[in-house]
A and B are shown apart, each in its own frame.
Chain A
Amino acid sequence: MNGAISKDRGRRWVPPLAGALTVVLLAATIEIVLDGAVGHSPLIPKSPQIAGWLTGIGERLGFRVFLIALLAYAGAYGGILLLARRISSRFAIALTVALQLIVFAGPILLSTDVFSYIAYARMGIVHGINPYIHGPTSIVGDPVYHYVGKDWKTVATAYGPLYTLISYPLALLGVTGALWGMKLMALLAGAGTLVLTWRCARLREIDRRFALIAVGVNPLWVIYGLGGAHNDLIMTLLMMVAVSLTLARHEAYAGATVVGAALVKATGIVLLPFMLLGARREIPDGPAAAVQRRQPPPAMLDVPPARLRSRAASGIHWPTTPIPPSISRRTLSRRRLAPLIGAAAAALACALAAYLAFGIHGVDVIAALNRDAAFVSTDSFPTEIAHLLGKPGVFPIDHDLLKAGLVLIVLHLMWRTWRGYDWVAASGWTLLAISVTSTWLLAWYTLWSLPLAAVSRDRRLLVATLVVQALFIVHQTAPLLAPVS
């Protein structure tokens, strides 16, 4: 009784606390967007004036204001995530939508990548130049050229042919039109990812509000991913479509969609081996649903319903539903092969389309990946560990060691998936391992595993993803501690 009263007292704090955290989230986002709209900031890439109607309200965005806003946002995100199971679905959705729209209305934040996307599209459509052979320097006279990041002016595209073909129509809209097109594409892809995260969470017996807030309110998702209109959001959308399709038992389409994700960004292919090993177990009519119907599946009869509910709520170690005896061995075998068949068919069709559009260079994604794998960024964890060990940076031998470590991790996860581990979690772990072992780490790479982590049955994945993101944010804070004038 006393416990119930104290619980009620505790819950009375939830609405005002959630409200205060929401105010912080909205205020930090609005501050960054309004100050960013002024331009002339090292944090805002040189860009056509797309958010001119917002100028005059804020001031030039400096490192100090940005980092304080980012840290405040991150803290409020942590708080709202802890409260996620106590707030209403309507509140969670409204907050998520508001944050996405605020960022959509503002300027491009923190990255010049979107101008590379537009440059590659204009190279192909306006100038008839193959973006898989040449870099933006081949269109020096084009209006978008001046906005491309200086490190990327000579670099041919590393993005998949599907993404390049999707971006081509936007080239016809001019630079400003294409920029809005890219922003809209990122917004819709992000929204689609969030809708599917919600749906997959429901089907996998995970709290939908928690999953939605974990992804849709995430600081790196909102400010870096959507703020920079990154095509990683399209890859995450296709990954979540694939997860959703396996839950609907459309394994062949799911396999094809994974190939689609990989043809946007090559890392998307990570899902395929785990899907092949584990997706056959996905049966949406899950145990908790059986509990609600008071018709537990036969294999669950010896587990108390209360324990079933608590396991479903925690999302940890949930034993998947056993295959009903009515499914024959032949059906099972077909179902296991379905993702492979779908993936092979999609890969064949897309390879043909890519070859016709871009020649052999459009198909050779491996060469682009190998080139990018050699890059080194100061934010990467291998670089930080090298500094910790007293080395000036990473060396070629380090690249080899990291690749070997990644292979071991993938093999371990494949073995675990073969022996019954959640394939969605295994895919997420692999994507997280890729971003952690990569010597070229950017904020939006830490988003790859996030939607999978939110719908995974292993909560450790979400914790690990958020820890990696938190460390990334902490690594940005040096200018706050010792500003350079």
Chain B
Amino acid sequence: MKKPLIVALAGNPNSGKTTLFNQLTGARQHVGNYPGVTVEKKEGTCLRGNAEFHVVDLPGTYSLTAYSQEERVARNFIIEEKPDVVVDVIDASNLERNLYLAVQLMELGVPVVLAFNMSDVAKARGFQFDLAEMSRLIGAPIVETVGSRGTGLDELVAAAAAAARRPAPPPPAIRYGADLEQAIERLQAKLEGQLPRADARERRWTALKLLENDAEVAGRVASGDVHRLVRAEQERLSALLGDSPEMLIADARYGFISGLCQETVRSTVETRHTASDRIDEIVIHRVWGLPIFLGLMYVVFWLTFTVGTPPMDWIDAAFGWLGVTVSGFWPEGSESLLQSLLVDGVIAGVGGVLIFLPNILLLFLAIAILEDSGYLARAAFIMDRLMHKIGLHGKSFIPMLTGFGCSIPAIMATRTLESRRDRLTTMLVVPLVSCGARLPIYALIIPAFFPEAWRAPMLWIIYVFGIALAILCAKLLRATLFKGESVPFVMELPPYRLPTLKGIWIHMWDRGGAYLKKAGTVILAISVVLWALTSFPKLGSVDESLPAEEQQAAELAHTVAGRIGHALEPLIRPLGFDWRIGTAMIGAFAAKEVFVAQLGIVYSVGEADEESEPLREKLRQNYSPLVGLCIMLFMLISAPCMATIAVTKRESNSWGWALFQLAGLTVLAWLVTFAVYQLGTWLGIGV
């Protein structure tokens, strides 16, 4: 069999690249990461007729400089992996800006095919293209496509296959002006012999990149002579022309593009206000913008929790049934360790996490719709003013919002932030936003200690306290560890679009799948470890005269978890906690909601959930309302669950930050709870 051609898809964000990729590859996709970075690598197989293509979706970029991770990844893929052909997806209704990347791709000297995507939108806006002439001027074949409907795909694939067979055409004839050309020529001459196997075109490209101050390319050139010449030329150009060389080079590229467009694009109608503009007048209105945004967010949460409840009950029932069924394999009285491991460890542990899957999928569905329609960019705009006050920018708001559902996807959502400082700050404070798994704890504690009238305000206070702490910590981190001006904010406001079902579906499953994978791997492993901690060592003999619940409690106290709880007691005593709470907290490290079940076992009330009245009765007997509040505060702030730590490690690419998050939040939780408990005791409130 012939080796499949490798096709790289490049293009601006919002050019419809992802839609085209989905159309080309269908379900035959694979999502991974580029080595060493957290940029997603999407690959897929495309079958057309009897030909097979391997399609790689490069990250969406505006340019090919070495400034952002995405751009570096895209460029290095093209240079190092040498795909057979690069398909540049271009938003035909926004030609000039999109052609900027195309010109840079051509300069790299690889076979390029331009896909004029969304050509229907462009035509509706009254643009007419002379494609033959444009193709001749730019030196690459052009195919019109409509990604959302899948038109033009056969032609695109055929053109790509043809281009891959031909040698790369010469780069577009961009003249950078006499002064720049002179600098390029001098550098090109100096580079002779410096780069092994480099032809004239590659030397020209390198010269250009050196003048653009491209650190990565500069690193490949060893000669100090070359670097000295680069600096001299840069100074000469700046003095002569009054702008930096990179600006002059960008200007020349745009000059070439606008010349090209003047000759080949005709605009038949003068459209001043598009539908997008009219929607924006309302949606990002100075007064209405915020209420509309808050209203939409309310709808998202309402849907997530109401629509999500029935499937959650089904999953709960299914795991309950599975547990009972598996238990049934062992005849009464012959309970073995394996049975306990399967039922109490694996099934209960994984079930406890999977139960949130409907919530999470719904939240991702809503976010995918908002994102694909173009609204999310507006939300960032609206929130920017507020977020700016805490030293972050509007885009950080999306991860924070997702954090109400679950910290794991929230931390993954920080990928949209370009600056590492912003990313790390957001990532580290996200667990302070009360996630869905903490709700069962509040739901248990609040009715146990607080009168009816106080319950709703109490819950509100806890949530708001978490948000306030997140803001405070973000400010603190920005003032200390991640000092520096917040990254100035540029973001495209893409035109509003009707999202495609396929796109939303794929988006939702991409992220939901990551959560599922976590449940299947990390959480499964942790469940087993925790089960072991709470099962061993076994108590030699149990006092048979005691009721079954008391026997269970005595056994737990004897296990590793019980012992750790006891060992922790001196540390947590100043917070008003005893060893029982300490033991339950160990369970909470696997998943916050496990706290409730663990407390149920320690207090030997048998099966316990957040509605358990006997457990609440026990809590009332043993603790004051102040301790109740302290439990909630500690669970809110302290060590995020293990899965969160694992995701922070993966996304920050360092155990250091993950452990810093773990330690920092735990210390913070201790300090806050200590202050609240001691102050409350001293003032005699709620004791």
Does B associate with A? no
Residues of B within 8 A of A (CB): none
